């Protein structure tokens, strides 16, 4: 024995006994991130998507036409479909019911086994969805209505509490899964109703004639919940519960999605192109494409594979773009929109103003990376290219008015591209990238290291003067803006670069713009927008965010864009000076009772200090409160101490969690549809934090 122990010690204590084997669903709880990506909000909502996807796959197979998702009290989620119902008979390999096998075993389900399996096409790549949700839930209830029976099984942290039992008869067919996420796994359990609604609306577009209902019943009382009799009813929506709800049903599928995305756009042609073709190739089950051109310069292209959104697109989009460019060029040559010696339209030319959705469904699907953000299946490229090319050629021939409008739209894009290139080349020739001096308004920093350098984009020369005097010259650069910059939402690059302020900003950044944009040449890794705390300041901030979102999106994605949070108040009590960044902070410093007696200062003329009024409170006899209306009212020392000093300042980092939703909001707020903008503002006015 001693000899064996010595041998093991020589090997560093590493032998078969050192290998730990996690059984059942233990690996999921040990490393949840491997299965759901994160234990933050994304992972929490992913639990809903996994259960929903099983129901949706039933609908994709033609076995269900209705799904209901309900948010219940105590963080329970209930998902119902009227599909075939998960089988409850004994599984010959596992020795227990098929229901228990699916919910308690990784890689078990109807998504394996090819033609003999339960699904030709599935959104689930690994077939681990239901069991993962079960493993990460403190409690799960599975109810199955099938073959005239009502069956049930409950689970605690992925383990069955009892064998599947028949609890009654049923005239329904389908599955009900109710689960409660484990608070010990997730940082916090807060479901976002709007996020769930947006995701499931998208899914409803992708499966024609599927009715999806979302109900937020989290505020129901115990009595109201008991009256629902959840175990005795199928769809809660049929009971007429008093709770917020949304229902989606689209007969037109992707055509409806394109129409929704273009609802506030001016269409270039009336008819929405659409094609759906089943089994175009042995390895691709279906190809579906819808598109329409609008009077805009931004393309909006959404891609899906087995109903999974692919934000990084993939092979199916490559096939689509190739076919789109070739087909429009062929039509333009044939109908004399392109002369013989003229250069062909480029891929960027034909994408301008295009709203399109590309969806493929495949039995054996491959994604690049675990997040399924990009489709990697090579068969998809050829299938989409073939199906779309043939159908779109026919569409152009059969709809000459639409075809003419599309051709003219592309020709305008070509002219704009050439004008933009000339303007862009001019800026690059004169810009810092080519060795010429930086803009005169820019007070640059001394450091040449982008990682430690900051650029403050400030509103007005007055604030710019204070910022230049108060900054850390080694790492902080200042670029003052004069008034409001150009709204770039619908402006082409040539028009943008004709604006002196935008041109100065582009040169200062060092990245160039458009197709020659190079993030690696960014001169500052913190771009800080510092505007006044009033309506004009908010407008300037929105204009700058629009510019970054439309033309420098990688800088947002990389986390380089920030918004400064200057204080609202300077509060002086004797020799003590405090700065308050909100009314709540002010009240905490001077006391709630002083609010009504407070006298605030008026903005001082430029170049002069504000006079501070005295106010008295019950607790402190003399308190001086200065209300800052703009950065220019602060002297250099105050601006440094409150807004620029890394040790004290507060910055908000700009992120884009939902690019498509952000795109729509920017288009609404900064676009040309006045009626829609007014409606949006009226609808969201109650959410605004007003400073009057």
Local structure of residue 608 (DSSP, 8 states): S
Write down the catalytic residue from 50, 288, 532, 667. 532
Q: Containing H/E element for 285?
A: strand 284-293
Three-state secondary structure of 378-391: HHHHHHHHHHHHHH
The rounded distance, in Å, linking the Cα atoms of 577 and 625 is 10
Residue 573: other Cβ atoms inside 10 A = 17
Beta strand ranges found along 412-564 (DSSP E): 454-459, 476-481, 526-530, 561-564
Quick one: CA dihedral 414, 415, 417, 421, positive or negative?
A: positive
Q: Is 585 labeled as catalytic in the residue annotation?
A: no
Q: Is 534 labeled as catalytic in the residue annotation?
A: yes
The rounded distance, in Å, linking the Cα atoms of 379 and 371 is 20
Write down the catalytic residue from 459, 633, 638, 667. 459
Q: How far is CA 430 from CA 76, 241, 439, 506, 515, in A?
A: 61, 66, 10, 12, 18
The rounded distance, in Å, linking the Cα atoms of 218 and 77 is 10
Backbone angles phi, psi at 635, to 5 degrees: -80, 175
Q: Is 536 labeled as catalytic in the residue annotation?
A: yes
Beta bridge partners of 78: 70, 178
* Kind of pairing between the strands at 561-564 and 284-293: unpaired
* Torsion-angle region of 369 (φ positive above 0: left; ψ -120 to 50: alpha; else: beta): left
The rounded distance, in Å, linking the Cα atoms of 73 and 216 is 9
Three-state secondary structure of 380-447: HHHHHHHHHHHHHHHHHHHCHHHHHHHHHHHHHHHHHHHHHHHHHHHHHHHCHHHCCCCCCCCECCCC
Residue 347: other Cβ atoms inside 10 A = 11
Write down the catalytic residue from 154, 224, 368, 536. 536
Residue whose C-alpha is closest to residue 404's, from 276, 271, 291, 256: 271
Q: Is 532 labeled as catalytic in the residue annotation?
A: yes
Write down the catalytic residue from 89, 500, 534, 614. 534
Residue whose C-alpha is closest to residue 362's, from 593, 133, 114, 550: 114
Local structure of residue 584 (DSSP, 8 states): H
Enzyme catalytic residues? 459, 532, 534, 536
């Amino acid at each position: 024995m001693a000899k064996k122990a010595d041998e093991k010690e020589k090997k560093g204590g590493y032998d078969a006994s050192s290998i730990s084997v996690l059984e059942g669903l233990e690996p999921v709880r040990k490393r949840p991130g491997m299965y759901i990506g994160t234990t933050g909000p994304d992972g929490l909502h992913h639990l809903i998507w996994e259960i929903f996807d099983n129901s949706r796959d039933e609908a994709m197979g033609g076995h269900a036409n209705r799904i209901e998702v309900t948010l219940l009290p105590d963080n329970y989620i209930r998902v119902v479909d009227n599909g075939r119902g998960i089988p409850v008979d004994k599984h010959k390999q596992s020795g227990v019911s098929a229901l228990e096998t699916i919910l308690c075993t990784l890689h078990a389900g109807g998504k394996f086994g090819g033609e003999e399996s339960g699904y030709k096409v599935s959104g689930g790549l690994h077939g681990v969805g239901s069991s993962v949700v079960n493993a990460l839930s403190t409690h799960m209830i599975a109810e199955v209505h099938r073959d005239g029976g009502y069956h049930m099984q409950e689970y605690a942290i992925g383990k069955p509490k009892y064998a599947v039992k028949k609890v009654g008869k049923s005239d329904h067919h389908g599955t009900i899964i109710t689960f409660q996420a484990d608070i010990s796994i997730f940082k916090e359990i807060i479901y976002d109703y709007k996020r769930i609604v947006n995701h499931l609306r998208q899914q409803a577009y992708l499966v024609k004639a599927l009715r999806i209902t979302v109900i937020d019943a989290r505020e129901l009382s115990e009595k109201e919940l008991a009256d629902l009799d959840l175990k005795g009813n199928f769809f809660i929506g049929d009971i007429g519960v008093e709770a917020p709800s949304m229902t989606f049903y689209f007969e037109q599928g992707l055509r409806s999605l394109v129409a929704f995305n273009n609802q506030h756009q001016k269409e270039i042609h009336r008819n929405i192109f659409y094609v759906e073709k089943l089994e175009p190739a042995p390895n691709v089950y279906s190809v579906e494409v819808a598109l329409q051109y609008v009077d805009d310069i931004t393309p909006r292209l959404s891609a899906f594979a087995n109903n999974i959104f692919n934000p990084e697109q993939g092979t199916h989009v490559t096939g689509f773009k190739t076919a789109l460019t070739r087909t429009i060029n062929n039509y333009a040559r044939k109908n004399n929109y392109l002369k013989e010696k003229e250069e062909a339209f480029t891929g960027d030319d034909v994408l301008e103003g295009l709203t399109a959705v590309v969806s493929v469904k495949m039995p054996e699907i491959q994604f690049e990376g675990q997040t399924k953000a990009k489709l990697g299946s090579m068969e998809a490229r050829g299938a989409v290219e073939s199906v779309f090319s043939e159908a779109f050629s026919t569409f152009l021939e059969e709809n000459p008015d639409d075809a003419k409008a599309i051709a003219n739209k592309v020709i305008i894009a070509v002219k704009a591209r050439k004008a933009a290139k000339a303007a862009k080349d001019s800026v690059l020739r004169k810009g810092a990238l080519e060795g010429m001096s930086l803009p005169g308004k820019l007070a640059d920093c001394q450091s040449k290291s982008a990682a430690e350098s900051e650029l403050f984009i400030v509103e007005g020369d007055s604030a710019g003067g204070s910022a230049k005097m108060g900054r850390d010259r080694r790492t902080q650069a200042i670029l003052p803006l004069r008034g409001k910059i150009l709204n770039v939402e619908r402006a082409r690059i040539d028009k943008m670069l004709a604006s002196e302020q935008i041109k100065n900003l582009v040169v200062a950044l060092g990245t160039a713009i458009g197709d020659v944009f190079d993030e690696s040449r960014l001169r500052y890794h913190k771009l800080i927008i510092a505007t006044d705390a009033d309506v004009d300041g908010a407008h300037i901030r929105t204009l700058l965010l629009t510019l970054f979102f439309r033309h420098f999106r990688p800088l947002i994605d990389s986390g380089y864009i920030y918004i400064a949070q200057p204080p609202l108040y300077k509060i002086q009590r004797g020799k003590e000076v405090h700065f308050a960044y909100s009314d709540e902070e002010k009240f905490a410093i001077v006391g709630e009772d002083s609010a009504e007696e407070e006298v605030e200062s008026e903005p001082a003329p430029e170049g002069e200090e504000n006079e501070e009024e005295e106010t008295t409170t019950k607790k402190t006899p003399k308190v001086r409160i200065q209300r800052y209306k703009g950065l220019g009212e602060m002297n250099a020392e105050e601006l440094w101490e409150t807004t620029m000093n890394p040790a004290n300042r507060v910055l908000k980092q700009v992120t884009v969690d939902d690019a498509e939703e952000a795109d729509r909001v920017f288009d609404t707020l900064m676009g040309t549809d006045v009626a829609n903008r007014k409606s949006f503002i009226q609808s969201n006015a109650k959410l605004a934090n007003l400073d009057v």
